[in-house]
Structure 1
Amino acid sequence: MSSAAFRGRRGVAAVLAVVAIVVAALVVYLSRASAEPATESAGAGSALAPASAAAPAAPSDPSGALSSAGASPAPPASAKTTPKAPATGWVAVDKAAWKAQADAYQALKADPVPAGVGNLAEFRADCSYSHSAADDPIVFPGLPGASHMHSFIGNAATKASTTVEDLQRYTATSCKPVQDHSAYWVPTLYDNKTGKPVETTGFRVYYRSMMNTSAGQMPMPTGLRMIAGDAKKSVPTPRGAQGQFYCAFYGPGDLDGIARSTNGNWPICGDGATFHFMLQFPDCWDGEHLDSPNHKDHVAYGYNNTCPADHPVKIPAITFDIQYGVKGQPEGYYLASDKDGKSASSMHGDAFVVWDTATMNSRTRNCIQQRRTCDDFGYQR
């Protein structure tokens, strides 16, 4: 899906309740004392080492989401290593590492902008399906098989015990550019008629500004992890509902489908359309934690063009644009997170963000700070 198509339809409403966000503190070097609220669910990951919007009318370009190999593969199953236990709950950022990244970003000069570059403040990674497992290194760290089935995208080494150091070390990826070592995952989609999984055929990860200014913009801190959506939500997703899958076209078409599944929860797409889902993550960070007990409290959605005072660091807003190569059927589908309810309301996504730090800094400076459109490899022309 093109960036212009996304922007042109961003007001139509599929997953986002948040779109406007604006200037926050230019740089917060993590001096606030953190409140440590108690919540129920487990956290994940390790402390950092340096290192709806609306449904658019055009689907992601499958040809831009082909697999690409990173510099070093995942370790073989026979490799004998002593696993490091992932941290849980409130995971503090390494303040020295974040300060070093922030200082390098502030000192970085933007590259000249070639003629013809668009003015959408974003860069992206085009990815493809990597592997599946009943693992979740954010919600159930170190507990293989404890989760519902997930479809993993990006870093090929991702498993239940994955830490930030793992993602930095084992960099084979199904994403372009290969400097994106992150792990992304969503609940596996199943065909309700056959019980077989339906894997993604395109997975574009946008990093963008949802605000009308990039003043105070900062890069993603290495090792940030977060969840968007609610895996426990189980409500119907009929035609016109928020949080539903939709039909994406290269042109005019009915986003809600020309028909619905028997239970009403899934669209049946017309000719030339396929299933899509858009998932928007927060764009403001507390500047102190890489994770929180519910995997959401350390980040926040901006409002009215600004970040809230308790989450003052403006970071790129991640958007998952997910394509499935199916058109719908009367029997419908179900997500691994809601096999019984068979609605789309439990759709959610996890992001464990680890880029090559210099690449993250330069893309944020060139593309978001300068409010220019970038693709997988830099300025989009």
Structure 2
Amino acid sequence: MGASAYAEPSAEVATSPSSSPSAAASTSAKPKQTATPEAEAVNGWIPVGDAWRKQVAAFKATKADPPPADAGNLPEFRADCKYSHRLADDPIVFPGLPGASHMHSFVGNKAVDADTRTADLTKFTATTCKPVKDRSAYWVPTLYDNATRKPVETTGFRVYYRSLQNNSAGQMPMPNGLRMISGDAKKKEPTPRGAQGQFYCAFYGPGDIDGVARSTNGNWPICGGDATLHFTLRFPDCWDGKHLDSPNHKDHVAYGSGNACPADHPVKIPSLTFEIQYGVKGSKAGYYLSSDPTGKSASSMHGDAFVMWDVDAMNQRTKNCIVQRRTCNNDGYDPFSY
């Protein structure tokens, strides 16, 4: 396990999604064996195991801290993460196939590569996230400057775990080993001013989120003042309770609405939200994503999450912050009560 050295930008630009994963596998080394195999996938479905049942029992026994009178009312906790490494790997979509993916920028667990499995996230705990008890891996396609063709890495990556529903009845913690994808890497549509799913401008600048100008192709904002490019990705908040992954990495989870989850995904879990900041203002040349090196739009932006937390930390935060509907910081405390 472990991240390899970064490739040169010219090599990265040439890297694109493999049209033949089997071909990629034939030219790579035999996948490393992980310490403890997880439950065997059946047609792409990875069943939940005893670890989840133990976590549920511990969660039910966890006592929430008394909520302060002036608690914030947005039920969430968070992790603040920094850029870790860059690889053409994807342990969710192309497990065991180094180089089979387009280039990804990883934050969180420092040891993630194509061979990473649940046991590896437990064993290799070094992380770029605070709190350090969040050992999850999070990644997005690498952003490139269209003029220089050099990568533009994140300067801020906040991961929210929050409730999107109107009450916390039946709320459960996030299961370790859960894999999820938000967004569509194959989507190739323009992202003009006002489009859904575009990069936007935020923090201390004139103009609105669409920027004070646009790139030549119209797909990327140019930010004014001290504002920089941002992107937000939201993940589902309902789970089938049976599988840690599915063949398309989406069917085991779903989006809830109002106070309930759908009947086929009845387990209410925290919704992950990526709030991603890039330290650039935008330019006329614009940018492109590794998931769409020719389209030069933001529509293929997507995110992957491979969840692994210290169980006690996850359970306590879920009880204190989400069940009690308190706004918590990355230490798991309500900042309004101190």
Please give the TM-score of this superposition, normalised by the length of structure 1. Answer: 0.77
Residue type of the alignment partner of 1:241 = A
Residue in structure 2 matched with residue 197 of structure 1 by the alignment: 151
Residue in structure 1 matched with residue 55 of structure 2 by the alignment: 101
Residue in structure 2 matched with residue 167 of structure 1 by the alignment: 121
Residue in structure 1 matched with residue 296 of structure 2 by the alignment: 342
Structure 2 SS opposite 1:263: coil
Tell me if 1:90 matches 2:45. yes
Q: What CA RMSD, in Å, does the superposition of the two structures yield over aligned residues?
A: 1.8
2:198, 2:298 within 8 Å by CA — same for their partners in 1? yes
Residue type of the alignment partner of 1:215 = A
Structure 2 SS opposite 1:264: coil
Larger displacement relative to structure 2 (101-110 or 148-157)? 101-110
Match of 2:86 among 132, 135, 141: 132
Q: Using a 3 Å threshold, how does the CA distance of structure 1 residues 117 and 253 change in structure 2: closer, same or farther?
A: farther
Q: Using a 3 Å threshold, how does the CA distance of structure 1 residues 365 and 129 change in structure 2: closer, same or farther?
A: same
Give, in whole Å, the separation in 2 of the partners of 1:253 and 1:213: 36
Q: CA deviation at 1:98?
A: 1.5
Q: CA deviation at 1:99?
A: 1.7
Match of 2:256 among 297, 302, 324: 302
Q: CA deviation at 1:119?
A: 1.4
Q: CA deviation at 1:115?
A: 5.1
Structure 2 SS opposite 1:125: strand
Residue in structure 2 matched with residue 67 of structure 1 by the alignment: none
Aligned residues: 303
Residue in structure 1 matched with residue 321 of structure 2 by the alignment: 367
2:204, 2:225 within 8 Å by CA — same for their partners in 1? no
2:165, 2:257 within 8 Å by CA — same for their partners in 1? no
Match of 2:193 among 236, 239, 242: 239
1:278-293 to structure 2, matched below 5 A, reads 278-293=232-247
Residue in structure 2 matched with residue 272 of structure 1 by the alignment: 226
Residue type of the alignment partner of 1:127 = C
Q: Using a 3 Å threshold, how does the CA distance of structure 1 residues 213 and 291 change in structure 2: closer, same or farther?
A: same
2:205, 2:225 within 8 Å by CA — same for their partners in 1? no
Question: What per-residue deviation string (whole Å, max 9, x for no partner) do you get for residues 239-268 of structure 1?
Answer: 000000000024764100111000000000
Give, in whole Å, the separation in 1 of the partners of 2:299 and 2:251: 21
Residue in structure 2 matched with residue 74 of structure 1 by the alignment: none
Residue in structure 2 matched with residue 258 of structure 1 by the alignment: 212
Match of 1:215 among 169, 172, 192: 169
Structure 1 SS opposite 2:315: helix
Residue type of the alignment partner of 2:117 = T
Residue in structure 2 matched with residue 45 of structure 1 by the alignment: none
1:178-193 to structure 2, matched below 5 A, reads 178-193=132-147
Residue type of the alignment partner of 1:345 = S
Q: CA deviation at 1:304?
A: 3.4
Give, in whole Å, the separation in 2 of the partners of 1:169 and 1:355: 12
Q: CA deviation at 1:107?
A: 1.5
Give, in whole Å, the separation in 2 of the partners of 1:105 and 1:147: 36
**% identity of equivalent residues:** 73
Structure 2 SS opposite 1:141: coil
2:205, 2:226 within 8 Å by CA — same for their partners in 1? no
Question: What per-residue deviation string (whole Å, max 9, x for no partner) do you get for residues 1-47 of structure 1?
Answer: xxxxxxxxxxxxxxxxxxxxxxxxxxxxxxxxxxxxxxxx99xxxxx
2:154, 2:276 within 8 Å by CA — same for their partners in 1? yes
Give, in whole Å, the separation in 2 of the partners of 1:363 and 1:274: 31
Give, in whole Å, the separation in 2 of the partners of 1:82 and 1:152: 22
Question: What per-residue deviation string (whole Å, max 9, x for no partner) do you get for residues 63-109 of structure 1?
Answer: xxxxxxxxxxxxxxxxxx74467855100000x32221111111211
Tell me if 1:311 matches 2:257. no
Give, in whole Å, the separation in 2 of the partners of 1:153 and 1:329: 25
Structure 2 unmatched ranges of 5 or more: 1-19, 22-31
Give, in whole Å, the separation in 1 of the partners of 2:68 and 2:296: 48
Give, in whole Å, the separation in 2 of the partners of 1:169 and 1:194: 38
Give, in whole Å, the separation in 1 of the partners of 2:34 and 2:332: 36
Q: Using a 3 Å threshold, how does the CA distance of structure 1 residues 258 and 252 change in structure 2: closer, same or farther?
A: closer
Residue type of the alignment partner of 2:193 = R
